[in-house]
Amino acid sequence: MASAAEQLAANLNFASFSKATELKKRIWFTLGALVIYRLGTYIPLPGINADAFARAFEQQSQGVLGLFNMFSGGAVERLAIFALGIMPYISASIIIQLMTSVVPTLEQLKKDGEQGRKTINQYTRYGTVILATLQAYGIAAGLSGSGNIVNDPGWFFTMSAVITLVGGTMFLMWLGEQITARGIGNGISLIIFSGIVAALPTAIAQLLEAARTGAITTIILLVVLVSALALIGIVVFIERAQRKLLIQYPKRQVGNKMFQGDASHLPLKLNTAGVIPPIFASSLLLLPVTVANFAASSDVPGWLGLIIASLGRGQPLYLFIYASLIMFFAFFYTAIVFSPKDTADNLKKHGGFIPGIRPGERTASYIDYVLTRITLAGALYLVFVCLIPEMFMSNMGISVFLGGTSLLIMVSVTMDTVSQVQGHLFAQQYEGLVKKSKLRGGKRKR
């Protein structure tokens, strides 16, 4: 078995793609699905005055609309049928995960295995429909009351806009599930990733054009590019970082045979929360400012105008609150997705233990202690990666597509996708070695 594993590792390279028929089908399916998604971001919502909306969007492009536009692959900027993007599904997933921690019925479903996961996924779909409907109605009502953006405002436009936007979100949800099942995996993440990557060349071209016209100096351009490369290196290093806890299994007797105790590791990621903290922090911080900016300046009291000015991008108060929200959501989301108590119970059930730590409550407390310390390091890393680009964007007018959140998504999804591809290649190579060993065994018997 050891020699087979070594042979498998040696043969696992890019040359294996030529024989990976199933993997090539999955890759082509994924690419075709992403092309369909990109085409949908260019189909405009019916009944919209495109020029009027473009002028309105330009005024709010640095607010929450710019953030949503990034996640939707530019569909918000064009007010396309996929303008809501996949964010309602992500929000519904997070809400359901929150509820599994406080609702006993959902908590039990989470522990019921495959059938329970299917039920939770169905609840997530229902939640997606509800959230998408509310957001679509808010968009339709806001567009109808915003002047000349809608050609013929009224109930017919509102109903058609809601149906179109909700249908677009549900189609993207289905498309993401198909990529996960029939493609190379990570369907939802790949949809967001493709939207960001598609807009990246335009963002870089705008940066180079600004340097050519003298809007920014060549030194600043070099600083931005070097900083982006350095941040990518930091993200790759930290996203792969793990704290491995040694797990020991005692000796066991099966029949008359005594098996030696085995040892393994419990890997704890340094950044367990992923990209969720920056996404939620940006949304919560920019949403009130964007809503206030939509109102007429005469309707805004003086004290509220002062707060809005203090929460402008790049302002000290904005950076402080942004960093605080990232830290909060890093700990909050980690506590939701990883339960030290459940992990300790599973280890105890299978006879595993951490050397020097008593199984049960002591193990749960120790895992929670280690997880809290590494989550602090992960949260500080997220704050650093997100605040550095934020300063560049606020002071130099750099596109949001070059921000820390977009860099995190691009690097993380790329690493996950490469791991998925390697997993498919590994499985195929392993099956090939097993078949060869069986054929050799059969020939020897003959």
pLDDT tens track for 42-55: 998 888 888 888 88
pLDDT at 4 over 50: no
On whether the pTM is more than 0.75, the answer is yes
Is residue 172 within 8 Å of residue 180, measured between CB atoms? no
pLDDT at 228 over 90: no
Q: How far apart are CA 164 and CA 75, in angstroms?
A: 13
Residue matched to tokens 């699905």: 33
Range with lowest mean pLDDT among 146-155, 166-175, 341-350: 146-155
Q: How far apart are CA 40 and CA 59, in angstroms?
A: 25
Please report which helix (H) or strand (E) contains residue 250, including its range.
none
Predicted confidence (pLDDT) per residue in 122-136, tens digit? 999 999 999 889 888
Predicted confidence (pLDDT) per residue in 8-41, tens digit? 444 455 556 666 778 888 889 999 999 999 999 9
Q: What is the DSSP letter of 400?
A: G
Phi, psi of 242, rounded to the nearest 5 degrees: -140, 150
Q: How far apart are CA 320 and CA 313, in angstroms?
A: 11
Q: What is the DSSP letter of 150?
A: B
Residue 7 pLDDT: 46
Q: What is the mean pLDDT of residues 138-162?
A: 83
Across 249-371, the runs of DSSP E, i.e. the strands, are 252-254, 257-259, 263-269
Residue 415 pLDDT: 86
pLDDT at 94 over 70: yes
pLDDT at 445 over 70: no
Predicted confidence (pLDDT) per residue in 238-265, tens digit? 988 888 888 887 766 556 666 566 778 8
**CATH topology agreement for domains 19-201 and 216-446:** yes
Closest CA to 282 of 58, 132, 63: 63
* Amino acid code (one letter) for 396: M
CATH number of 216-446: 1.10.3370.10
Show me where the domains of the chain are located: 19-201, 216-446
Confidence label for 2 from pLDDT (cuts 50, 70 and 90): very low
Residue 172 pLDDT: 93
pLDDT at 115 over 60: yes
Is residue 218 within 8 Å of residue 211, measured between CB atoms? yes
Q: Hey, CA dihedral for 60, 63, 66, 68, is it positive or negative?
A: negative
Q: Tell me how far the alpha carbon of residue 76 is from its chain's centroid.
A: 19
CA angle 394/395/400 to nearest 5° reads: 35
Residue 297 pLDDT: 45
Across the chain, mean pLDDT equals 79
Confidence label for 433 from pLDDT (cuts 50, 70 and 90): low
Residue 399 pLDDT: 60
CA atoms lying within 13 Å on the CB side of residue 180: 11
Q: How far apart are CA 177 and CA 186, in angstroms?
A: 9
Confidence label for 417 from pLDDT (cuts 50, 70 and 90): confident
User: Which CATH superfamily includes the segment(s) 19-201?
Assistant: SecY subunit domain (1.10.3370.10)
pLDDT at 294 over 60: no
Residue 254 pLDDT: 59
* Amino acid code (one letter) for 250: P
Confidence label for 170 from pLDDT (cuts 50, 70 and 90): very high
Closest CA to 270 of 236, 241, 290: 241
> From residue 166, how far is each of 87, 244, 261, 368 by CA, in Å?
12, 43, 55, 40
Residue 400 pLDDT: 58
Confidence label for 393 from pLDDT (cuts 50, 70 and 90): low
